[in-house]
Every structure is written in C-alpha cells, then in structure tokens.
Amino acid sequence: MRKIPVVSSDEALNKAVELECSRSGGEFSPTFLSDRAKVIEFLKYELPEMKIFYFSDPRVDCLGILREIEEDPWLHYGGIIGVHDNVDDKKLIEAMRDANVIAVLRKPEFLQNLPRLLRIVRQNKQILFQRGIQQHLLKTISGAFVIDNDPLDITTYTNLVTNYLYNANLIGRDEKEKLHVALLELLVNAIEHGNCEISYDEKTAWLEGNRDIMDLIREKNRDPAIQRKKVHFSYTITPERSSFAIRDEGSGFDWRSRLASKADRPGLHGMGMKMANLYVKELAYNEKGNEVAFAVEHRHGESNAIPKIFQAAEEARFEDGEYVCSEGEESDFLYYIVSGTLYVYSKGKLVSSLTPDDMFMGEMSFLLSNRRSATVVSKGKSSLIKISKQDFVNLIKESPHYGIFLARLLAQRLARLNARTARLNTEYLKLKGLAKGGGAAGRA
C-alpha cells in the first residue's frame, strides 16, 4: 500500500481522491492533512512517492509548506501534484521550480485525470525518487514511456525525467530548464505533426484564430485511428550522460530541409526544432523522420541544494590529493559533502569513493567511535561542511528525521557492500569450479 498525503480541506476534492484510491484495490491509501506541522511530520517519516497539494485551499498555507520542503533537500523525495482553481499557472510553476513536480492542474482537470496520474505513479515510482539505491547498484538505468496523444502525458513525463536528473545532482538548474524546454518541444512535435498529422499551415490558421492548439489535438483524436497512436519515449542514464529517443507513429517528415531552413522567425510557432537543437547536443533524426535522439552530458561532484540547517556551518575546501582525514586519527565531527569526489582508503587500499550523492563522510567513526576507520583523500577540488558531533546530536533532537536519513544512507551503503561481496563470491566460486575442472582433466 502506498500512502498519499493530500494537503487539502476541500471535501469534494478529498472524496474524489478517496474514491479513486479505493478503486486501485488498496494499492493507494490517501491521508488527508490540513495542519502545516502534521504535513511536514508526515513527509519526514513516510517519504511518500506522491503528494497532492490543493493550492487554492483558503484554510491551508500550501505555499508556506512548499517553501519549508524546498529548504530541506531530504523532503524532495517523491513527486508533487499541484491542484488549483484559477491561480496563474506560470506563477505557481515558478514557485515550484525547485520542487519535484509531477503535474500542475486546475481542479476539474485533476479530477478528470486522477486515474491516469495514479497509473503513471504506479508504473514509474522508481524515477520519482532522488538518490535512489539503483544509482549505486546499477551503472546504467534504462526505461521507456508509452505516451498517449495527450498534453498531460507530455508535461508529466517531461517533469519526471528532468526532476529525476536534477534531484540526483546529475544536472544543474540551467540544464534542467533547457532539457525541459527541449523535451516539451520534441514531444509536442511528435504528437502534433507526427501522430495527429497537423501541417504547418493548418496549425498557423488555427492559432491565428486565437484558438488553443490543444483543442486541435483533441479534435484530431476523435479519429480512432489517430487516438490509437502512441509516442515512444526511451531513456538511458549512465554516470556520464543521459541519452533519449522520441519516436511517433506518423509518416515522418523531411527534417533535413526543416533544419536547414533559414526562413523561420519568432512567431506563432515553428521554432521548436531549432530551440531543441540549441539546448541539447547531438540532435539526430532517423531517415524516415519519425524518431529523434539526443544526449545530455552530466556534471560531476556538485550538489544542487544544501540543507538550510548546514548553510551557516563551517565550510572546508580541499585541493587535489589533499588529505581530508587519516585512518586511526581521533575525530568528533563528520562532513556534509557539497562538491567534489573523495577517495576512501583502508589499510592503504582504495575501497570506495564518495560524492554529493552520498551526502555524508565520516559517519561510521561518528557512530561507532571517535577514531577514523579510513583515510580520505580529495580527488580534484572538493568542498565539505564540517559538523560537530554535538551539533548533529542537537540537530537530530530538533529534527529526528535526519537520524532516519542517516540510517537510510548506511543501509544503502550496506546494500552496495553486500552486492559487491556477492559478486566477488560468485566470481570466486566460478574460478574455483574452473580450477577443479582443470585439475580433473589433468589427472584423466
């Protein structure tokens, strides 16, 4: 059962959510909250995959709760669905720019599309979490989305991908915004011009009539043959880069002449391809023109957000090759990793490396004793925030969920160690089997 906090006191909205969750066969369980302190407490200890905020609720300070979430990166786990009556979409989206947004919808749209949103969460829960354990256990993460000819699907899947990369510290805010624009443009093109076969002139005439292009898409989808068409959006995320491919089920187009054209000027439309080409690298189409692929390079050793509670703490900077600590030395503090890569040595052997995704360095000596269990050396430049044991204990007293997160990180590292041990054991058994086989053959 997946718990979903619904930050709302609106009875109609809450009943609709409760009804739809009951139809999920018990897979989703809503918890209705309107008190700010209880909302934050729920988020800290439950780490829900999805949370629903009704921003037009006069009895709930949703924006205030959102600001508190943004001050604490550990509360970014899971996605946010923003619901409102007639709030300016752009202003609300701007207020949520650093949040893990799934969708922002007016109340009627939300009620109509709630089943689809629950389905998307159910099918893609792994990409809603930042710092997921799969990042540590798998060098490559791949997946694919099958998207209907619907604007909601476009924005939802775009948000899922860009927020995942941002919250995993693989891209910064500027790269996130550029990737968001590029994905939206290419996915809209796949639906409009690919599946719905809307020509350039037809779209121009429609927009000149002051009509919403989404209404034209809906009109085209009344044709069952068009409605059945899908957009296939696949991704591969490696430590170095993310690669994407978008394929529609249309007849394709002459992309060479379109990209070569210099006649385009900013206007009602027509700049999507060129904007995407400016924002992402290696934009390439297949021969038919119904599939486009591109890649985004990752940055390394940087954190997008530092918890507010650490921002006033002492910051330590290290140069390439500089020792952060030595095995066996006494210490009564740990470090929060802001940027850089740190090599960890035990008894002179390199055993692991740490980056901002690991959050902390030195927590083992912090928890077990006052002596360092390993030597740590900065690989390139790094920046760390020094936190004394007393300050961290006081922090856990004030915010107990940090203790839970520390335990979660240790569990992740233990899982990585177990996976490595199991892999080495498997390799050992294979070698042992080969050695026995070879010996038997030699005696035969």
The one-character DSSP state at 339 is: E
The more confidently predicted of residues 281 and 321 is 321
Measured in residues, the chain has a length of 444
Q: What are the b/e assignments for 415-441, b being 16+ CB within 10 Å?
A: eeeeeeeeeeeeeeeeeeeeeeeeeee
**Residue 324 identity (one-letter amino acid):** V
The topology under which CATH files domain 308-399 is Jelly Rolls (2.60.120)
Reported as a pLDDT band with limits 50, 70 and 90, residue 268 is: very low
For tokens 């002139």, what's the residue? 201
Q: How far apart are alpha carbons 100 and 102 in whole angstroms?
A: 7
Q: Which two tokens stand for residue 136?
A: 């540590």
Most confident of 1-15, 75-89, 254-268, 338-352: 1-15
Q: Are strands 375-388 and 323-325 parallel, antiparallel or unpaired?
A: antiparallel
Q: What pLDDT does residue 422 have?
A: 80
CATH code of domain 133-299: 3.30.565.10
SS (H, E, C) 172-237: CHHHHHHHHHHHHHHHHHHHHHHHCCCCHHHHHHHHHCCCCHHHHHHHHCCCHHHHCCCEEEEEEE
How large is the average pLDDT for residues 284-289?
Answer: 88
Reported as a pLDDT band with limits 50, 70 and 90, residue 240 is: confident
Q: How far apart are alpha carbons 243 and 306 in whole angstroms?
A: 28
Domain boundaries along the sequence of the chain: 1-129, 133-299, 308-399, 402-444
1-129: CATH, from 3.30.2130.10, 3.10.100.10, 3.40.50.300, 3.40.50.2300:
3.40.50.2300
pLDDT digits (tens, 9 = 90+) for 295-318: 999 887 676 666 655 666 677 889
How large is the average pLDDT for residues 20-27?
Answer: 85
How large is the average pLDDT for residues 132-160?
Answer: 74
Q: Whole-model pTM?
A: 0.65
pLDDT digits (tens, 9 = 90+) for 353-370: 888 767 777 776 666 666
How large is the average pLDDT for residues 368-383?
Answer: 83
Report the SS3 class of residue 6: strand
Reported as a pLDDT band with limits 50, 70 and 90, residue 13 is: very high
Q: How far apart are alpha carbons 164 and 128 in whole angstroms?
A: 6
